[in-house]
Structure 1
Amino acid sequence: MMVDFSEFILRVLFSGGCGLVVGLDREIKGKPLGAGAYVLVAIGSAALMVVTLNFALSGVAEDEAMTIDPTRLIQGIVGGIGFLGAGAIMSPRDNGRLKGVRSGAAIWAVGSIGIACGLGYLKEAAFISILIFVVLNFFDWLHIRGNK
């Protein structure tokens, strides 16, 4: 069954809200990627997923020569977001440690929020965003505690 426009709006906005939860945490802490990047990745991933689902279900691919596999989009989203994550990771520090790795991983993980929302898994997306938020804060807490 195709996703109607009101459901599309719900999924995309919900995804943006979940991405904002993670993005605000990173923004407040002055990390390499700002809140806007997280929101845009979540929104873009969800929108692409819904549009692809609708296209696959629209009957355009009734010609046997054309096959549409929406799961291939997931592969593209994950790979594309990897480039953003790599951009968040700065060159090695003098101590040999990389900077921005958690932000890079977080932007990649936010893509899964968008994919989940686009597929209609809103509860799962909310759980993913809370889990990302908790993990980021736990490791920030450990880092602060370790530097005392």
Structure 2
Amino acid sequence: MDQILTELNLMRGPLAAFVLSGLIGWERESRSRSAGLRTHILVGVSAALFIVLGENLVTNFAKQDDQVRFDMIGILGAVVSGVSFLGAGAIFSSKRSEGTKGLTTAASLLAVAAVGMTCGLHLYVLATGVTLLALLTLGPLGRLTDAQKSGGAGTTSDQ
């Protein structure tokens, strides 16, 4: 029973990441972007889980042997590298001089990974604040830059 309660307690991070990443994903989905609700949730929850697993490894196994070393910074770096690889797949250049597409999608995936990692560390106020900043950037600021682009020729598409 104690193990179940411990694991339920560990679920707080991934659950918070689910909600916060879902908010960002919903914004992307509502604008019909290539990476939407499900993709953002999966990236955020996965990032949180990697952090929770890393912290659990440190807590459970570091006491057993002084020779065992754990690098939480390495876990953070691995998550960033993996998500950056996904983001690179979302970015492409148009041969018809339409510019580069997918930069904002790639950036939003990186943002939800950061939110997920922050939730995995149980820093919920920070994760919520960053989510609100991301939503402000994607929402009102996105509409502002879209309006500016429609008035003139832009070379970068917000996708």
> In structure 1, what residue type is equivalent to 2:14?
V
Correspondence list, 1:119-134, <5 A: 119-134=121-136
| Aligned-partner Cα distance in 1 for 2:70–2:94 | 42
> In structure 1, what residue type is equivalent to 2:59?
L
CA RMSD of aligned residues (A): 1.8
CA contact (8 A) 2:62 2:69 kept: no
| Aligned-partner Cα distance in 1 for 2:73–2:60 | 16
2:144 to 136, 141, 145: 141
Correspondence list, 1:68-79, <5 A: 68-79=70-81
Tell me the equivalent position of 1:107: 109
Deviations 1:99-138 (A, max 9, x none): 1110111101110001100001011111111111111121
Give the gaps of 5 or more residues in structure 1.
none
| Aligned-partner Cα distance in 1 for 2:119–2:53 | 12
CA contact (8 A) 1:50 1:118 kept: yes
The Cα of 1:50 is off from its aligned counterpart by 0.7
Cα 1:10–1:130 shift into 2, 3 Å:
same
SS of residue matched to 1:58: helix
> In structure 2, what residue type is equivalent to 1:143?
D
The percentage of aligned residue pairs carrying the same residue is 23
Deviations 1:30-74 (A, max 9, x none): 111121010001100111101110111113563333211222100
| Aligned-partner Cα distance in 2 for 1:93–1:100 | 15
Deviations 1:60-92 (A, max 9, x none): 563333211222100000010001111111233
The Cα of 1:96 is off from its aligned counterpart by 5.3
Cα 1:143–1:93 shift into 2, 3 Å:
farther
What's the TM-score once normalised by structure 1's chain length?
A: 0.90
Number of residue pairs the alignment of both structures matches: 146
> In structure 1, what residue type is equivalent to 2:115?
I
Greater alpha carbon shift after TM alignment, 95-104 vs 49-58 = 95-104
Tell me the equivalent position of 1:8: 10
CA contact (8 A) 1:78 1:111 kept: yes
Deviations 1:13-38 (A, max 9, x none): 11110001100111111111121010
> In structure 1, what residue type is equivalent to 2:86?
L
- Flag the structure with larger Rg: 2
| 2:19 aligned with 1:17 | yes
Tell me the equivalent position of 2:32: 30
Give the gaps of 5 or more residues in structure 2.
152-159
Structure 1: 4+ residue segments shifted above 6 A: none
